[in-house]
Amino acid sequence: MKIRESGMPSDEMWEKFFDIQLIFSRLKLNDSINDVAEFGSGYGTFTIPASKIIKGNLYAFDIDDMMVDVLYKKISDKIKNIKVIHADFIKDGTGLKNGSVDYTMLFNILHAEEPLLLLNEAYRILKPGGKTGVIHWIYSDDTPRGPSLDIRPTEEQCINWIKEAGFEIKDSPVSLPPFHYGIIGYKNK
């Protein structure tokens, strides 16, 4: 099941919307982390830089054939710790074992029709003490891209969903200029 369409721009344009190092820093994705699962890897905008920081494997999930092909071409045989997985992770889950990863990335994806399915799967596969990083477009007409406001979640909605999935939020949401915000959910059990 594809996420509700939000108009993916070209790879070059997409990358201009993010300060990746700032995002990783503020969402505590760093070299202390072993394995990561990314829900909706797209062009690999976050996948490739994250794979160079972490100690273990990065499981990059996407349902879109074109995005999977783009990511395969970008990594070819050069990056060994990215495991590209073409799957309907919303309908079927990730297939990863319970408590198997240290961090999950849910970046610009909670405009899905059932965001709790994604967050529940993230919670299931995280180890105790693991984190989920969520970023999304700010709720404003002033952003140059992003889902329409009728499906774009507010910061408050994301916080409520993250808590409902069982995560604890220990830190205040962070600003990720120019167009995003971020939230970290912690799995304490």
On whether the CB atoms of residues 173 and 134 are closer than 8 A, the answer is: no
Q: What pLDDT tens digit does each residue of the chain (189 aa) get?
A: 445 454 555 556 656 778 999 999 999 999 999 999 999 998 899 999 999 999 999 999 999 898 899 998 889 778 999 999 999 998 999 999 999 999 999 999 999 999 999 999 999 999 999 999 999 999 999 998 888 999 999 999 999 999 999 999 999 999 999 999 999 999 997
**Domain 19-186 fold:** Rossmann fold (3.40.50)
Q: Which residue matches tokens 């120019």?
A: 178
